Structure 1
Amino acid sequence: MSAKVDRLPQAFIWRRVHSLTGLWFVLFLIEHLITNSQAALLLGDNGQGFVRMVNLIHDLPYLTVIEVAFLGIPILIHTAFGIRYALTARPNSMKGDGSKPYLKYNRNRAYTWQRITSWILVVLLIMHVVKFRFLDYPDAVNEGTTNAKYLVSVTMDPGLYTVAQRLGVELIDPKAQEEMKKHRNQNRKALEHVVEDIREQDSTRYSQQDAAILQTAQSYEEKENLDKAITKMKLDPKEVIVVSPSFGKASLLSVRDTFKSWIWVGVYTVFVLCACFHAFNGLWTSMLTWGWVIKSTAQTGARKVAIGLMLLIAFLGLAAVWGTYFLNLKH
């Protein structure tokens, strides 16, 4: 007679899945804010630490698959169950009409703020992804070639002249953009006929002249692709197009452009503080959930570690928000 094996309740399993995806969110938040802080704290480095890290991530093979599988899906799972738990939560650290318990303990306040920050993060996370992954995401032109360029539009300011020179990027204003539209397609047909004739030849011998013509045609085609991409972008009179040789530099200037606005500084200050509290308060509670800390002294020590990490990562995040433009890359 076989022994009966009790199955784990589904609620228990999904709580653990929610906890694990939350731990993954903590690790990502640490990496993300360490990377972003390098745009502000490494003074005199012109954000090169940030550029190197962003380029390293951007050059990963199958990046879209990685983003979806290791970021999008875990965060979506955590958010979906987090909303469900937030809707059924019963915070008891705020005064009411007396019909519900009112407890002034720190852990009750933390429980309440964990739910409040979850709603704030849902809104701000969607905003952040839409802004930096779609609206302000640099456009790639001729990617995979030695003439790869990355384009992003930013608002012009006097400090951008010297910052662009130090980073080695080109600025295209609306007037220059209009000039490009006028001069596109000149001499293109004549060159295309010559290239077509060479490619139709059945010769297997190396020809220096043919090589020069085909390489020139390829360079011309890449230049055409760049001009086409530039002329297609819509610019306001106060905007310019950044033409960057690397994705990281284009991203750095997009971040700089965002954080010279006091509105965005305020929004991202709230975002960083909510994310850090939610992540590291969740880290501490997950230690209890998984039984990593059982004794009272161990729980106290773990809470101090979580608070220390929260303050450190929050400092790095706020440094990126307040320092990228105002401290490091204003001029």
Structure 2
Amino acid sequence: MSELTRSQSFFIRHEFAIRRLHSLLGIVPLGLYMCIHLTTNASLLNGTETFQRAVYYIHSLGAALPLVEWGGIFLPLLFHAILGVWIIKTGKSNLGSYKFTGNKRYTWQRWTGLIAFVFLMLHVLHLHGWFHFGPWLAVMKPLGFANFYPYNAASSLAMAMDDWAWGLFWPAFYLIGVWATVFHLANGLWTAGITWGLWISPSAQERATKVCVAFGVLLTVIGTAAWWAAVAPGPEEIAQARETENEMYEAALKTGLVYDMPEKRYEGEEAIADEEESGEIDAIIIEETVIIETEGTDAGADETDSGGDDSDETADADSDE
């Protein structure tokens, strides 16, 4: 028996702990971050100032921001997603034989998990480009990726959503992605309670179902509001938001709320590109001298007149003495 145990994979030997870690990370920090993220984006409905102020507070972390993103978001997401794919591959659904609601939710949980993973990966690529080094961004930006600027949050978000396929692809993609992710989280809360033994009896599971459904409906409303706030602005609203953001940036820079990082501004990015381009071009200034030739008679007359003026000035000087 011990030889069989040793021959088993690491996951099989530690399945109890790994599954609980998988469900826990799906709630904290990923589920918690998703609630905060959607609520922050929905605050755009209250105006550019509210949304931009929230983004400023996030980016005021400065050099610590990448540590928070990787430690609290990206690494837990990768672990949760990779393990989720393994569970999907090894799990067996009996939905074809038994049309129970629980079996349907089991299947929907797996499919929405895959949709959510693809959505989140493309979402990060679309707005942030995955990586922040020059050669990579030089390729991604012309393709319509990495075009979100934190210091011009509302305007750059709306512009990014209006790209591709006459502005139709990204809004549809985000709406489906947000709804699938919300379902995956709300239903995942219910299954996590089963995994952790929080609700085992039928009555406890019924109460938990009502709570998770209410939570899912509320988060769907918030997520849809966040989606609408990003896709609704037109050119005039975007221009107005850009003006407000620039005014807020100057004030935030003076108070020390934000750091002077031109790459996080829409205009700053263009200024950097213009400086790089102008540095490669040498300016050549050519002076032209225009010579006008006059006729000899006119020149002689001018000399006579000038001589007369000099004699008059001399006479005036003598009389003064």
Question: TM-score scaled by structure 2?
Answer: 0.60
Residue among 25, 29, 54 paired with 1:21: 25
Please give the per-residue CA displacement for 1:135-168, whole angstroms capped at 9, x wherever unaligned.
798x9xxxxxxxxxxxxxxxxxxxxxxxxxxxxx
Residue 197 of structure 2: SS of its match in structure 1? Answer: coil
Where does structure 2 lack aligned partners over 5 or more consecutive residues?
1-11, 238-321
CA–CA distance in structure 1, aligned partners of residues 66 and 233 of structure 2: 33
The answer (yes or no) to whether the contact 1:38–1:320 under 8 Å persists in 2 is: yes
The answer (yes or no) to whether the contact 1:256–1:329 under 8 Å persists in 2 is: no
The answer (yes or no) to whether the contact 1:121–1:275 under 8 Å persists in 2 is: yes
Q: CA, structure 1 residues 103+251, in 2 after alignment: closer, same or farther (shift >3 Å)?
A: same
Displaced runs of 4 or more, over 6 A: 232-236
Residue among 149, 168, 181 paired with 1:262: 168
Please give the per-residue CA displacement for 1:36-77, whole angstroms capped at 9, x wherever unaligned.
1112x32xx2x2222121111111251111111111111111
Residue 51 of structure 2: SS of its match in structure 1? Answer: helix
2:131 matched to 1:127? no
CA–CA distance in structure 1, aligned partners of residues 18 and 131 of structure 2: 35
The one-letter amino acid of 1:257's match is M
Higher normalized strand content (fraction of residues): 1
The alpha-carbon deviation at position 10 of structure 1 amounts to 0.5
Q: CA RMSD in A?
A: 3.1
2:99 matched to 1:104? yes
The answer (yes or no) to whether the contact 1:52–1:248 under 8 Å persists in 2 is: no
The one-letter amino acid of 1:19's match is S
The answer (yes or no) to whether the contact 2:158–2:233 under 8 Å persists in 1 is: no
2:35 matched to 1:30? yes
The alpha-carbon deviation at position 294 of structure 1 amounts to 3.0
Q: Where does 1:281-320 land on structure 2 (aligned, <5 Å)?
A: 281-320=187-226
Q: CA, structure 1 residues 330+116, in 2 after alignment: closer, same or farther (shift >3 Å)?
A: farther
The alpha-carbon deviation at position 235 of structure 1 amounts to 9.2
Residue among 104, 108, 115 paired with 2:110: 115
**Per chain length, whose mean CA-contact separation is higher, i.e. which structure has more relative contact order (CA < 8 Å, sep 6+)?**
1
CA–CA distance in structure 2, aligned partners of residues 320 and 28 of structure 1: 15
The one-letter amino acid of 2:14's match is Q
State the structure with more CA Rg.
2
**Which residue of the partner structure matches residue 251 of structure 1?**
153
Q: CA, structure 1 residues 273+234, in 2 after alignment: closer, same or farther (shift >3 Å)?
A: closer
Higher normalized helix content (fraction of residues): 2
CA–CA distance in structure 2, aligned partners of residues 255 and 320 of structure 1: 11
The one-letter amino acid of 1:255's match is L
Aligned identity (percent) is 31
CA–CA distance in structure 2, aligned partners of residues 29 and 78 of structure 1: 14
The alpha-carbon deviation at position 310 of structure 1 amounts to 1.0
Aligned residues: 215
Q: Where does 1:136-175 land on structure 2 (aligned, <5 Å)?
A: none
CA–CA distance in structure 1, aligned partners of residues 151 and 131 of structure 2: 13
